[in-house]
Amino acid sequence: MKIENINEALRVLFHELVNDGYKRRHICSLTLGAQLEPQFESFLKGNDFGIKPLQRLVQNMGYKFNIIITPEDVDSDVAKFIDDSNQEFLSTCKQLLVERLNDTNVVRSASVAKTGLLANITNELFDSITK
């Protein structure tokens, strides 16, 4: 499966979730992280994710991100295994996202920035308060 196909399948999945009434911000927080809303919005409008955002998204869904480079005449069993693995991820991804989107504690936790200057300052303040 080519990266363009994965991007398109994810875009369709995210649009389906939005059409089902889930908030874009929450989908973004659970997949890319709370701080990447502009990139997520751009993705929904048609710009593809590169390797790094796809890697983050796949890992946030509990999968490993691997790149497989095959010869032009790859064995059909190998090609089928790769395609089946990617299809399994895409179908599981939707189920997992729906479960997580319906859990307010998970959404709330994902919506808080965990890195960056603001997160670091917040963590320092919290540590000093709790000591």
Above 70 in pLDDT, residue 121?
A: no
Quote the pLDDT of residue 130. Answer: 64
Domain ranges of the chain: 3-130
Query: How much is the pTM?
Result: 0.78
Closest CA to 7 of 61, 62, 47: 47
Q: What was the pLDDT predicted at 18?
A: 96
pLDDT in the model for residue 2 = 85
Name the residue with tokens 């790149």. Answer: 67
Q: What is the CA radius of gyration of the chain?
A: 17
Res 100 pLDDT > 70: yes
| Separation CA 32–CA 43 (nearest Å) | 11
Residue 17 φ then ψ, to 5°: -65, -40
Contact 69, 3 (CB under 8 A): no
